[in-house]
């Protein structure tokens, strides 16, 4: 990256850009691709907070020798023709958001980036650099994590702020911290559950044989004790969804999935909880993952395959997985609202036509200045 290059080309109008940021995913469902991805992801000190020297030995000596092959086999079960589900949905969400904002009269660049994308064109740094070369003088970074965590949101924001630090001609940078209690996000989830209930009516609630399960990605308990707000934000989301649905407390269970390693993570864990529920006589569960706005390995394989099998084997009868919000129109509209609110105060787009014409005339008179 050339940090001293002039940022904007004379005569080209300044633009405002929105960047949806997600975690990143392997390029292919192969051990080699998963190894590259996990090496970057699990090598991030924001993700695994144990002393570096010890962790690097464990990561490179054990984990990266064993896990890539196992994980690749799991990725293969959910891989789509167009690629990894996380990537496919992120791209589709980006175009849907762009269309929605355009329909509201905004002329914005809407694009996406991944936190763990190696040196490729989709990394946060590469995307921000590209935007700068396209004259984006205002950039809103929107991490696609409803609940803030240092291990997800903060590391994405760190990347953006590291990029802007030291630039000669810095763009204006804003970011969204979280949207765990955003009314549009909560209502989009509640509407999705209501639509599911219309197709699959529940018994009158509360009923001992039914639970709505909200499963969030887990986090080491130590991170919570050190002050990470993630666990509390997950509970806030779950409470607001339950309230929007008027659900009795006995009918709702909030759990945490995707535990990694041997340390204690925040509880209750999803799979053991569902096994226990089946053993207690719960026959039907409707399971959703509100902490993920795009379906991915952790929802499609872990929840909809592994946890489903565990529940049914333990005596459960009906396991309904509700997909993530993905490109749901209510969600895209909520995302457009969220974007508009965070862009508020920045000069309106599309750029003033007269100013644009003046800029172009000046550029013509001056000749190519770049």
Helices marked H in 218-328 — which ranges? 221-225, 230-244, 270-279, 297, 308-313
The C-alpha R_g of the chain, in whole angstroms, comes to: 22
Exposed e or buried b per residue across 259-282, where buried means at least 16 C-beta atoms within 10 angstroms of its C-beta: beeeeebbeebbbebbbebbeeeb
Euclidean distance between CA atoms 122 and 127, whole angstroms: 6
230 binds ligand L6N33NVT (CB under 6 A): yes
Q: Binding mask 6-45 vs Fe ion (x if CB under 5 A, - otherwise)?
A: ----------------------------------------
Output the smallest distance, CB 38 to Fe ion, in A: 11
Identify whether the C-beta of residue 209 lies closer than 8 Å to the C-beta of residue 203.
yes
Q: Which is nearer to ligand L6N33NVT, 100 or 147 (CB)?
A: 147
270 binds ligand L6N33NVT (CB under 6 A): no
Question: Among 132, 138, 217, 308, which residue sits at the site for ligand L6N33NVT (rule: CB under 6 A)?
Answer: 217
219 binds ligand L6N33NVT (CB under 6 A): yes
**Per DSSP, what are the bridge partners of residue 16?**
138
Q: Which helix (H) or strand (E) holds 111?
A: strand 109-114
- Range in contact with ligand L6N33NVT (rule: CB under 6 A) among 144-152, 172-180, 194-202, 322-330: 144-152
290 binds ligand L6N33NVT (CB under 6 A): no
228 binds Fe ion (CB under 5 A): no
302 binds Fe ion (CB under 5 A): yes
Output the smallest distance, CB 207 to ligand L6N33NVT, in A: 31
Any idea what DSSP says for residue 220?
B
71 binds ligand L6N33NVT (CB under 6 A): yes
Output the smallest distance, CB 292 to ligand L6N33NVT, in A: 6
**Of Fe ion, ligand L6N33NVT, none, which one sits near residue 275, judging by CB under 5 to 8 A according to partner kind?**
none
Euclidean distance between CA atoms 241 and 191, whole angstroms: 10
Output the smallest distance, CB 298 to Fe ion, in A: 5
Identify whether the C-beta of residue 278 lies closer than 8 Å to the C-beta of residue 307.
no
Establish whether 298 is an annotated binding residue.
yes
- Range in contact with ligand L6N33NVT (rule: CB under 6 A) among 95-103, 135-143, 176-184, 294-302: 294-302
In 3-state terms, what secondary structure has residue 293?
A: coil
Euclidean distance between CA atoms 52 and 45, whole angstroms: 8
Q: Residue 2, Cβ neighbours under 10 Å: how many? A: 7
* CA neighbours closer than 13 Å in the CB half-sphere of residue 358: 5
In 3-state terms, what secondary structure has residue 350?
A: coil
Q: Residue 131, Cβ neighbours under 10 Å: how many? A: 22
Judging by beta carbons within 10 Å of its beta carbon (0-12, 13-18, 19+), is residue 330 exposed, middle or buried?
middle
266 binds ligand L6N33NVT (CB under 6 A): no
> How far from 345 is each of 9, 134, 172, CA to CA, in Å?
24, 22, 12
Question: Among 21, 31, 86, 88, which residue sits at the site for ligand L6N33NVT (rule: CB under 6 A)?
Answer: 86
Identify whether the C-beta of residue 186 lies closer than 8 Å to the C-beta of residue 216.
no
**Of ligand L6N33NVT, Fe ion, none, which one sits near residue 291, judging by CB under 5 to 8 A according to partner kind?**
ligand L6N33NVT
Q: Segment 40-59, which members bind ligand L6N33NVT (CB under 6 A)?
A: 42, 47-48
Q: Which is nearer to ligand L6N33NVT, 84 or 192 (CB)?
A: 84
Output the smallest distance, CB 220 to Fe ion, in A: 11
11's CB contacts (< 8 A; 6+ apart) are: 359, 360, 362, 363, 364, 366, 369
Q: Which is nearer to ligand L6N33NVT, 134 or 327 (CB)?
A: 327
Question: Among 100, 155, 258, 270, which residue sits at the site for Fe ion (rule: CB under 5 A)?
Answer: 258
- Range in contact with ligand L6N33NVT (rule: CB under 6 A) among 122-130, 164-172, 245-253, 289-297: 289-297
**Would you tell me which residues interact with Fe ion (CB under 5 A)?**
258, 298, 302
Binding residues for Fe(2+): 217, 298
């Amino acid at each position: 990256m050339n940090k001293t290059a002039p940022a904007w080309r004379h005569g080209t109008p300044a633009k405002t850009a929105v960047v949806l940021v997600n975690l990143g995913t392997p390029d292919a469902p192969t051990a080699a691709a998963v190894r590259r991805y996990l090496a970057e992801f699990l090598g991030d000190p924001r993700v695994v907070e144990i002393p570096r020297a010890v962790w690097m030995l464990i990561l490179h000596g054990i984990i990266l020798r064993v896990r890539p092959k196992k994980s690749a086999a799991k990725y293969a079960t959910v891989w789509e023709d167009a690629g990894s589900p996380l990537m496919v949905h992120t791209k589709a969400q980006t175009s849907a958001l762009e269309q929605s904002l355009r329909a509201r009269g905004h002329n914005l660049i809407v694009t996406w980036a991944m936190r763990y994308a190696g040196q490729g064109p989709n990394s946060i740094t590469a995307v921000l650099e590209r935007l700068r070369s396209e004259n984006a003088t205002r950039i809103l970074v929107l991490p696609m994590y409803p609940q803030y965590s240092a291990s997800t949101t903060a590391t994405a924001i760190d990347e953006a702020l590291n990029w802007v630090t030291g630039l000669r001609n810095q763009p204006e940078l804003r970011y969204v911290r979280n949207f765990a209690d955003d009314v549009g996000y909560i209502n989009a989830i509640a509407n999705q559950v209501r639509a599911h209930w219309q197709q699959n009516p529940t018994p009158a609630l509360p009923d001992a044989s039914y639970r709505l399960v909200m499963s969030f990605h887990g986090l080491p308990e130590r991170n919570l004790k050190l002050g990470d707000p993630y666990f509390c934000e997950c509970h806030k989301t779950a409470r607001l969804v339950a309230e929007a649905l008027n659900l009795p407390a006995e009918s709702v269970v909030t759990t945490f999935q995707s535990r990694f390693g041997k340390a204690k993570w925040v509880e209750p864990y999803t799979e053991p909880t569902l096994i226990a529920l089946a053993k207690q006589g719960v026959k039907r569960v409707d399971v959703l993952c509100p902490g993920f706005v795009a379906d991915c390995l952790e929802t499609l394989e872990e929840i909809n395959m592994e946890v489903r099998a565990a529940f049914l084997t333990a005596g459960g009868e009906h396991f309904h997985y509700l997909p993530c919000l993905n490109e749901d129109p209510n969600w895209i509209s909520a995302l457009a609202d969220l974007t508009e609110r965070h862009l508020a105060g920045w000069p309106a787009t599309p750029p003033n036509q007269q100013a644009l014409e003046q800029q172009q005339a000046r550029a013509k008179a001056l000749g190519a200045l770049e």
